Amino acid sequence: MSKQTYRVCFCFRRRFRLGAAEAPDEIKFLFDRYSENGVMSAENLKQFFIEIQNEENASIDDAQAIMNNLHEHKHLNIFYRKGMHLEAFFRYLIGDINPPLETSLGDDMNAPVSHYFIYTGHNSYLTGNQLSSDCSDIPIIQALKRGVRVIELDIWPNSAKDDVDVLHGRTLTTPVALIKCLRSIKEYAFTASEYPVVITLEDHLSPDLQAKVAEMINKTFGDILFHPGSEVLKEFSSPESLKRRIIISTKPPKEYLEAKEVKRVETGSKKGKGQPDEEAWGREVSFRTKMDDDKDDLDEDEGDGDGMDDESDGKSQNLAPEYRNLIAIPAGKGKGGMSDWLKIDPNKVRRLSLSEIELEKAVGKYGKAIIRFTQRNLLRVYPKGVRFDSSNYNPLIAWSHGAQMVAFNMQGYGRSLWLMQGMFRANGGCGFVKKPDILLKAGPNNEVFDPRAALPVKTTLKVTVYMGEGWYYDFKHTHFDTYSPPDFYARVGIAGVPADTVMKKTKTLEDSWIPNWNEQFEFPLTVPELALLRIEVHEYDMSEKDDFGGQTCLPVWELRNGIRGVPLHDRKGQKYNSVKLLMRFEFV
């Protein structure tokens, strides 16, 4: 590419010179430092790995393997004898073989399941909004391919009352047969990860249909279905011991909530979309919580929770025994309010569900109790009922209080979903991320973690944004601006506990497909174990909203030191073919 022409009016055109991506000055300086006579040898590259990339165990063989990989592209004419020139060094640094995160499993997977954050879907069968979209197995397949480990199915009698459908009850969503969803789960459950898949069932069935569901599940999954046994579950098994197993989690029916569900849908629908994204890429996420002084307010059920425990719900006595025997992770709130829901039974573990609103209200008064509860038990958090557009909420409020199953509408988009995707890029993308010790262990005086406490800085992350490339290949040349090349800027920041949360911005570079910002930012971190690095690129538009140019979100605790190529993704999280940034990460 050399020149590009933009039409300004019928008789006038503007031409812009286009250059190839060129190594930034610091990369040239480092190449000169680690090369001899313009050629970098394997020994030179090894020293670069050790001293700049902080890879203390790097070997000559590692360096040679990189060179051999690059040599497959020798048509670029960037090699000389047994070394590489500056262009090859630059291509390596910004390429896919130099990612910002480790790609392999890094966490101990032998702890109880309650010690992990788990990639969790909400209404996993919906293709779009919560009121009128189609129900299908396709979004379930897509979620499993991304590594989602918890699939939620709402099960209802079909119109003839002789079979079971999956749909969002009391809405206009079109149903899909349960058996189709189950078969797709079996086929795709372990394509992205070998670790267990949990199916949470929102049950609205009679005992005879429950028996039919039990037969379907047993026949579909066979030996890979995890059977809990007859004894009371005293502690959860580990992800390692549950590899390639399907686990069922549900609770008794909740027909008594149907009237409340109808009321919620009818009143909520008058509000339109509820919480729409205000910009093409979504609003900023906030760590907003509500102080809880009103017990009665907390006791309200949002219509999508656990309902009552088996012991306290008379209808549960009619559960089909075949169905009851499938339930490996029992769910339920029990009697009373939040303090009762969070009681810890030393002889039994369970799953509790709270809406995002219930959690926001509870953390002010019950925050420490929630963290203690989640050290042994599972907490699932789900979107509030008025998110008809399938938007999401800030998952860090739940994660910072130990919640394992933060249920998200995976078919949506926006900044909250990018945080979810970023969290589960950790640990090799297996869908289970070990919770930090601060959420698992009490202090010397039996105190627990407080995400709002003023804590000392543990480490400072220095981030250098050198440059970006690839938009020219992945977008039409008039996509961002009809009359000229794009004017890109980058936003870089942290999502984490309130003290660490911040966003910063580079300068805007005009008329360039290959922006070379070369700017450095520092982020003091009090809780790096819960920090996610947010990266966005936008194109400045003086007359309208700025255009979206890509995003990614990376778990800080797994960032690789040094200079790395950072691929960007679209609004839904799909990686672009070519768009990436060259960045440097340093912990000081």
Which residues are known catalytic residues?
A: 122, 168
Sort strands 575-587 and 562-569 into parallel, antiparallel or unpaired: antiparallel
Reduced to 3 states, what is the DSSP secondary structure of residue 63?
helix
- DSSP string over 10-43: TTEEEEEE-------HHHHHHHHHT-BTTBB-HH
DSSP annotation of 366? H
**Would you state the structure tokens that stand for residue 76, as one six-digit string?**
């670029």
> 3-class SS at 6?
strand
Residue pair 193/148 in contact by the 8 Å Cβ criterion: no
According to DSSP, the residues that pair with 17 across neighbouring strands are: 3
- The angle that helices 138-145 and 178-188 make with each other, rounded to 10 degrees, is 20
Joined together, the tokens standing for residue 415 give 């900044």
Note whether 404 and 374 are within 8 A (CB): yes
- Pairing of β 547-555 and β 378-382: unpaired
Q: Which two tokens stand for residue 204?
A: 């609205």
Contacts of 418 (CB under 8 A, 6+ apart): 534, 551, 552, 553, 569, 573
DSSP state of 548: E
> Can you give the C-alpha Rg of the chain in angstroms?
26
**Token pair 């790097």 is at which residue?**
58
Per DSSP, the residues of 509-535 read: BPS-SS----EEEEEEES-GGG-EEEE
Give the bridge partners for 202, in sequence order: 154
Of the candidates 143, 136, 118, which has an alpha carbon nearest to the alpha carbon of residue 412?
Answer: 143
Distance CA(225)–CA(218), nearest Å, equals: 7
* Residue 511 structure tokens: 């008329």
CA distance 218 to 403: 30
Q: How many residues does the chain have?
A: 588
